[in-house]
Amino acid sequence: MEPDIISGASGPFGDYELQYIHCDDPNLLGQGIEFHPQTFTGIIDDPDATAEECHEAANAATLPDVIPVEDILEDSTLHEGVGICAETVENNLVLLWIDDVTVDPYNENLRTYLTTATQWRIND
């Protein structure tokens, strides 16, 4: 069974920095939102965070490489009013602010995240 890649951004991780994958196979590992293992990711609570604040949050590495489907269904990690800061392998810093979360009852109650993205280029 091929997993559906629901969203992602271009990068070296199978062309994605992050993947949102869920299949009907409970034995398939790595289901959920998976970040590139070399991407630093963290949570932030300020939608107007500066690049420096987002960099600090990303490097605190408070998010695991995979947010499991169970956490997504319980909204325990990601929810409205929280942001993900990520320092990518391409030397970008990204803030994905979650503006809204909707439950899709026709897709196993998975979440759709409406986000606002801010990107900074990290100087070498």
Alpha-carbon distance values, 14 to 69, 95, 96 (Å): 20, 21, 20
Q: How confident is the model at residue 15 (pLDDT cuts 50, 70, 90)?
A: low
Q: What is the mean pLDDT of residues 17-22?
A: 71
- In sequence order, the 6+-apart residues with CB closer than 8 A to the CB of 35 are 17, 18, 41, 63, 65, 66, 86
pTM (2 d.p.): 0.79
Q: What pLDDT band is residue 4 in, cutting at 50, 70 and 90? A: very low
Residue 67 CA: distances (Å) to CA of 22, 49, 91, 119, 120: 11, 23, 23, 22, 24
User: Which range (5-9, 23-27, 62-66, 93-97) has the least confidence?
Assistant: 5-9
pLDDT digit string, tens, across residues 44-84: 999 999 999 999 999 998 998 889 888 999 999 999 999 99
* Residue 2 pLDDT > 50: no
Token duo for residue 1: 């069974």
Residue 51 parent element (H or E): helix 51-59
pLDDT of residue 3: 35
Neighbouring CB atoms inside 10 A of 60's CB total: 14
116 and 47 Cβ atoms separated by less than 8 Å? yes
Average pLDDT in the 11-40 region?
69
More confident residue, 57 or 17: 57
| The two three-digit tokens of residue 87, written as one number | 């320092």
